[in-house]
């Protein structure tokens, strides 16, 4: 009587001698009985996932102009409600809030995402019209995926640039267990609480921010979810008072986390146009996507980076 172990042994032997995920072998392509060439039964191209995971950093489209100028307006100092000075009436003075320093963010160089396909050169490699259509469709998809991945990398690098060049730095141990996780959450809560109030920071006056996003590099959120929150007596009190996003890196910055006012960092599209060129003589068509973006980092908003 056959046992499961016998079947397992047989299957193991079969797979051990199988030809799987190998380069094409001409000898295997010849049928040993008929001498004819074996045919490909299917052609598979897995659709990979490439997406911009930071859509909240998208700014609205700005087709004209070359840079973004940011300025801040100071408060008005209250004064006594009188138009008398030393008993003498005077005319109402011109009163306007002082403007703080202006800063400019210039657009980035234009880049192109392009892909070409031949009308006939690849048809001989495809098993059917459907397979060829899928191939052409995948070229178009790769253009979209490449654009999405490019913007994702731009945004992560922009976050990292902001972390290293704007805002403040907080040094605290990276969360690795329940104790460091609780200390980190407490620090975030204090930072959000402070930034929600209007305050003077050096020579700059900042109003209170309404909402924040906490950007964490990968591996930290699982510590907070599993080690910190799971072991909490009152989990509600440990919930972070902001949106939490996970990224695989923050460009070249050494920061492992960032707390950002949701208005502070944006990537504005200036140009995003697609055109097609047909080269009849050399028998191919090229589709090109022209892209120009402008990065914006506010000098008048809360940006805090966390390092060890």
Q: Quick: pLDDT tens for 176-205.
A: 998 999 899 999 999 999 988 988 877 777
Residue 100 is predicted with a pLDDT of 83
Residue 212 is predicted with a pLDDT of 93
- Residue 155's φ and ψ, nearest 5 degrees, are -65, -40
Residue 127 is predicted with a pLDDT of 87
Residue 236 is predicted with a pLDDT of 55
Residue 86 is predicted with a pLDDT of 61
Low-confidence ranges of the chain (pLDDT < 70): 80-93, 229-239
Residue 123 is predicted with a pLDDT of 84
Residue 46 is predicted with a pLDDT of 85
Residue 238 is predicted with a pLDDT of 52
Residue 76 is predicted with a pLDDT of 82
Residue 178 is predicted with a pLDDT of 87
Residues with Cβ within 8 Å of 293's Cβ and at least 6 positions away in sequence, in order, are 107, 108, 151, 154, 267, 268, 269, 270
Residue 234 is predicted with a pLDDT of 47
Task: Give the tens place of pLDDT for each residue, 243-263.
Answer: 899 999 999 999 999 999 999
């Amino acid at each position: 009587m056959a046992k499961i172990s016998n079947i397992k042994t047989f299957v193991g032997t079969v797979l051990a001698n199988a030809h799987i995920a190998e380069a094409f072998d001409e000898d295997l392509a010849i049928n040993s009985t008929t001498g004819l060439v074996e045919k490909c039964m299917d052609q598979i191209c897995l659709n990979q996932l490439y997406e911009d995971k930071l859509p909240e950093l998208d700014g609205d489209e700005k087709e004209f102009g070359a840079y973004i100028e940011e300025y801040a307006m100071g408060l008005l100092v209250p004064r006594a409600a009188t138009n008398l000075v030393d008993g003498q009436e005077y005319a109402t003075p011109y009163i306007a809030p002082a403007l703080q320093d202006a800063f400019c963010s210039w657009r980035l160089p234009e880049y192109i995402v392009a892909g070409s396909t031949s009308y006939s050169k690849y048809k001989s490699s495809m098993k059917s019209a459907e397979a060829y259509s899928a191939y052409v469709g995948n070229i178009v998809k790769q253009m979209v995926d490449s654009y999405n991945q490019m913007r994702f990398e731009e945004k992560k690098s922009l976050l990292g640039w902001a972390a290293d060049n704007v805002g403040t730095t907080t040094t605290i141990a990276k969360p690795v267990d329940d104790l460091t996780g609780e200390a980190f959450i407490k620090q975030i809560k204090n930072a959000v609480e402070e930034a929600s109030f209007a305050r003077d920071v050096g020579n700059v006056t900042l109003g209170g921010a309404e909402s924040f996003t906490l950007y964490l590099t990968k591996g930290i959120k699982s510590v907070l979810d599993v080690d910190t929150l799971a072991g909490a007596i009152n989990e509600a009190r440990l919930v972070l008072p902001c949106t939490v996003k996970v990224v695989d890196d923050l460009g070249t910055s050494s920061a492992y986390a960032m707390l950002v006012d949701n208005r502070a960092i944006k990537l504005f599209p200036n140009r995003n146009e697609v055109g097609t060129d047909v080269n009849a003589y050399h028998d191919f068509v090229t589709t090109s996507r022209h892209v120009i973006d402008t990065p914006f980092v506010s000098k008048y908003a809360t940006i805090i980076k966390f390092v060890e």
